[in-house]
Amino acid sequence: MKEIFSKEYNIFLGDDVFEKLAETLIHKEYSKVFVLMDNNTSLHCWPLLSAYLVNFVPIIIPDGEVNKNIRQAEFIWETLQSNFADRRALLINLGGGVISDIGGFCAATFKRGIDFINVPTTLLSMVDAAVGGKQGVDMLSFKNVIGVFKHPKEVFIYPPFLNTLNDNEKRNGLAELCKHALISDKALFEKLEAIPPDDWGVKLNSLIFQSLKIKVSIVKKDPLEKDLRKTLNFGHTIGHAIETASLLSDKVPLKHGEAVAIGIICEAFISKAIDHLSSKEFKNIVEYISNRFPKYKQKINQEQLILFMRNDKKNKEGNIHFTLLKKIGKAKVDIICEDDLIIQSLNYYQNL
């Protein structure tokens, strides 16, 4: 079992983490234990975890980003209340990014805060959503505009859960893993480049661990996103806007990682255009993403995306702020970008 310790919470990764989780629950003596999951994790992951728990109350919500909203949050709060959860209760979030986000938000706000533990079940949640302390829900399909900063008490990562995922869901998490490499660790990006597309036979444990160390290190230095933590937004200014547009208009909306992958290409284009990123490294990034993510073929409404970006919570004084790459492994934050260059980047992606 691998461990990452911080003063806020600890992360445990390995095939034997559930024994550690059971030990934690015994020592904490919580008044009640609730387990939040969606209809997928209740079927595929809950049977593995349930053997280590006693006296628990399950809470099941529908899967998908479309359900990360205040209505589902109200259902979770009501379930906690009707089962007499007090401030010594615990909420275990068993699932992907949606479950980590909404579960953490509900726990942080219920009776001014109860403890929660994250047990991520997807690659996306293992390397990103389950760690870092950002909790929230979407409003009117805008990503995470209602939320709080609140850390889990512990995170337990069980890599065999990845065996329950199809290739599309694994690819969804690959975008965040790639982002961590691009902003902070060139050697990790080169390691990712060396893995053939759709080769999921590779042992992911070490890649997840390296990615986690990057994010935890950044968050530890800047927990409230005043400066350094903004580097984690690379690919997300455009990516979140595309994800929002897809949620509103597509019959099968893009997954978060798929939208971020588009954002990575577009924001790498912008990085190159303002003379930060070399042509060679830009080409490497585009080839890596293009070889692993299918092209988004829906027509992109550029004016709509610009409007969505103007509503991004990272903006200041009406200007759209980006995190861009100076080179692979080195990012720069709070770069203002004009609309024309954003549109050029979207055109570049559509013409690939």
pLDDT band at 128 (very low <50, low <70, confident <90, very high): very high
Residues 327 and 315 in one domain: yes
- Would the pLDDT of 262 be above 90? yes
Domain of 233, in residue numbers: 167-350
Residues 331 and 185 in one domain: yes
Structure tokens that stand for 346 in this block = 């979207």
Residues 202 and 314 in one domain: yes
192-209: per-residue pLDDT in tens?
999 998 887 677 889 999
Cβ count near 50 (within 10 Å): 14
3-state secondary structure of 22: helix
Q: Which residues contact 341 (CB under 8 A, 6 or more apart)?
A: 270, 273, 274
CA distance 1 to 159: 11
The residue from 134, 164, 194 where one domain ends is 164
**Mean pLDDT (whole number) for 133-160:** 94
Q: What's the burial of 303, exposed, middle or buried (CB within 10 Å: 0-12/13-18/19+)?
A: exposed
- Would the pLDDT of 313 be above 90? no
- Would the pLDDT of 276 be above 90? no
Contact 160, 15 (CB under 8 A): yes
Tokens 């609309």 locate to 339
The residue from 164, 191, 224 where one domain ends is 164
- Would the pLDDT of 72 be above 90? yes
- Would the pLDDT of 36 be above 90? yes
How big, in percent rounded to 5, are the helix, strand and coil portions of the chain? 50, 20, 30
User: What pLDDT shows up at residue 311?
Assistant: 84
CA distance 277 to 348: 16
The residue from 164, 182, 198 where one domain ends is 164
- What CATH code is carried by the domain that includes residue 327? 1.20.1090.10
